[in-house]
Amino acid sequence: MMLNIAAYLFVAIDDADALALRLRARAETLGLRGSMLVTPEGLNLFLAAGEAPLREFLDWLREDPRFATLHAKESWSKALPFKRLRVKRKAEIITFRRSDASPLALGARAPTVAPQTLARWIAQGQDDAGKRLVLLDTRNQQEVAYGTFEGALTLPIDKFTDLPAALDPHREALQDATVVSFCTGGIRCEKAALWLRQDGWDNVLQLDDGILGYFEQVGGAGYAGGCFVFDARVALDPQLQPLQDAQA
């Protein structure tokens, strides 16, 4: 069985070019496949390999104090879902082009809600203060087509940079709700929640660790379908198995 991990961390990286070279060299030596984005604001990793070499890589990476807190969401597959290793140097972990959406620039994250808490709120139909709950899907419509939380607010967007304009017409209708932004692994909903709060949406939280973390910790409570992933498995069900296998 192959171990698959999705991980990201917002952290200042002032040697991104050199770090990208070191990461590639180490990953190639260990036979890892997948993608790594190296940016001045942090890392974004989707990797797969046998368990031992992938855990060795993560242990090595966490020896750098900057990445000691890197948390990886795990799943398993029968075969490697990536054909090759790609290491890219980018300006952002996920392109948003909003200077007020970085935890590094603002010195804080947007408030989070844990998967177990969100599952309870979904079952209650409201948050613990009695406010109505709205789940905001920050992914694009192609990803949403594979599955999303039941009753979630989805937007007709093709890329993440489209989100602010698409969401603006809903501003007034969402003022009395607790809005929980969510995405695949946490990056987009973290940036979206932080930007929205800077834009005056003080009722917005982010789902910690995204859909994959929710599946890993809670399962599929309140979720319909699967979660699109960026590899050959296409989408995972709430048991973190390829959706097409579950439907076969």
Q: What token pair was written down for 169? A: 């017409």
**Spatial separation of the C-alpha atoms in residues 204 and 192, rounded to whole Å:** 9
Q: How many helices (H) and strands (E) does the chain have?
A: 9, 13
3-state secondary structure of 22: helix
Q: What are phi and psi of 112, to 5 degrees?
A: -110, 160
Q: 227 vs 22, 86, 104, 155, 218, CA distance in Å?
A: 31, 22, 28, 16, 14
Residues 16 and 38: beta-carbon distance below 8 Å = yes
Catalytic residue among 183, 193, 205, 229: 183
Active-site residue flag, 189: no
Three-state secondary structure of 130-162 = CCEEEEEECCCHHHHCCEEECCCECCCCCCHHH
**Spatial separation of the C-alpha atoms in residues 148 and 171, rounded to whole Å:** 21
Residues acting as catalytic residues: 183
